[in-house]
Amino acid sequence: MFLILEHEESEGPGIFQSVLYERGRVFKRIKLFTGESIPDAKNIEGVLMMGGPMNVYEESAYPFLAEESHFLKYCLGNGIPVLGICLGAQLIAKAAGAKIKKAPEKELGWYEVRLTTAGLLDPLLGDCAKTFPIFQFHEDTFDIPLGAVHIIDAPVCPHQGFRIGNNVYAIQFHLEATREMIADWVADQGDIKANILEDTEQNIASCHRYGKEFFAKFLSLCR
């Protein structure tokens, strides 16, 4: 079974869910914010960890973060494929021993990211352009864990993505986002809301194309 860990009602799997259906994958969505628990990892073929408004170091306010850290360490130690998006990426970094800290500036909206030299050779990123626009919504960032491969960077916040081994991926931005999700996330953003929604119409098609191709390839790692 494929597992999806969710931290907030508005931050579900987005377009990734359609890929799961298309591939005929059996999956279970765990809404941690409602008190649902993570199943026994021994029966899990792969994990998708979504974003959320909380920070990884707020375990006292969000006890499920500590449960996830323990679960992630088991996955990393036992070869279970994991993909983390935004908060999920930061949780992977933390479980791998890296530092989580405030980003140089908060990123909200569409930003250019680029593949590193290693990223250009990564089998999951082969269909992406060297630079491409993507939706961001975060104020924290992570160090690249010791032994991980830095695959995506950007001018403002350099650490946008890394890979551990061949089957653990951490991506700071939102490859899964739909128009509806983005509209919900920026509903209270005042003057910048209109510009973000306009940028969304210009960029969402390429985001969906890259996101579906990337996630389909990730699923091929989950046996």
| Residues labelled as active-site residues | 86, 174, 176
Count of all residues that appear for the chain in the document? 223
> How many CB atoms lie under 10 A from the CB of residue 47?
25
Cα separation, 1 vs 126, whole angstroms: 27
Smallest Cα–Cα separation from 97: which of 153, 158, 143? 143
Please name the amino acid found at residue 49. Answer: M
Cα separation, 168 vs 81, whole angstroms: 5
Smallest Cα–Cα separation from 163: which of 101, 83, 53, 51? 83
Helix 87-95 and helix 64-77, axial crossing angle in degrees, nearest 10: 60
> How many CB atoms lie under 10 A from the CB of residue 3?
23
Burial of 109 (0-12, 13-18, 19+ CB in 10 A): middle
Residues 6+ apart with CB under 8 A from 123: 217
